[in-house]
Amino acid sequence: MQETLTAQENTVARCGDCNALLSLPPLKKGELAQCPRCHGVLRNKDRWSLKRCSIIAFSILLLIPFALNYPLLSVELLGTKIDASVWGGVWKMATEGYPYTAFLVFICAIFMPISFAVLVILLQFARLLNKKPRNLLLALGYIKPWVMFDVYLVALGVSAFKVRDYAAISIDIYAIAFILTAILTTLLFIKINPNELWNDFYPQHTHPSNISATHSPHFCPNCRYTFMQPMRDLKLRTRCPRCHSLLNKTPAMTLQQTWAALIAGIIMLFPANIFPISYTYMNNIGNGDTLFSGVITFIGMGSYFVAFIVFVASIFVPISKIIIMLYLLCCIHFNWRHSIKWQMRLLHIVHFVGRWSMLDLFVLALMMSLVTRGQIINFSVGPAAFYFGAAVFLTMIATSFFDSRLLWNIYDRQQAK
Ligand SMILES: [Zn+2]
Ligand SMILES: [Zn+2]
From ligand 2's centre to the CA of 235, what distance in Å? 18
From ligand 1's centre to the CA of 73, what distance in Å? 46
CB 35 within 8 A of CB 184: no
Nearest ligand to the CA atom of 240: 2
From ligand 1's centre to the CA of 90, what distance in Å? 42
Nearest ligand to the CA atom of 40: 1
**Can you give the pTM of this predicted structure?**
0.87
d(CA 1, CA 330): 45
CB 71 within 8 A of CB 58: no
Going by C-alpha positions, the residue among 191, 189, 203, 193 that lies closest to residue 132 is: 203
Helices (H), 40-167: 50-69, 86-95, 99-106, 112-128, 134-143, 149-163
pLDDT at 372: 60
Nearest ligand to the CA atom of 14: 1
From ligand 2's centre to the CA of 29, what distance in Å? 24
pLDDT at 356: 85
Nearest ligand to the CA atom of 36: 1
pLDDT at 5: 42
Q: What is the DSSP string of 359-410?
A: HHHHHHHHHHHHS-TTSSEEEEE-THHHHHHHHHHHHHHHHHH--THHHHHH
From ligand 1's centre to the CA of 42, what distance in Å? 8
Q: Which residues of the chain have pLDDT under 70?
A: 1-8, 77-78, 166, 210-214, 371-377
Domain ranges of the chain: 1-46, 50-198+252-416
d(CA 30, CA 217): 28
From ligand 1's centre to the CA of 191, what distance in Å? 22
Burial 95-129 (b: 16+ CB within 10 A, else e): eeebeebbebbbbbbbebbbbbbbbbbbbbebbee
pLDDT at 390: 94
Chain centroid offset of residue 411 CA = 28
pLDDT at 374: 52
Nearest ligand to the CA atom of 38: 1
CB 222 within 8 A of CB 141: yes
From ligand 1's centre to the CA of 347, what distance in Å? 14
From ligand 1's centre to the CA of 39, what distance in Å? 6
From ligand 1's centre to the CA of 408, what distance in Å? 9
pLDDT at 4: 39
Nearest ligand to the CA atom of 341: 1
d(CA 296, CA 384): 17
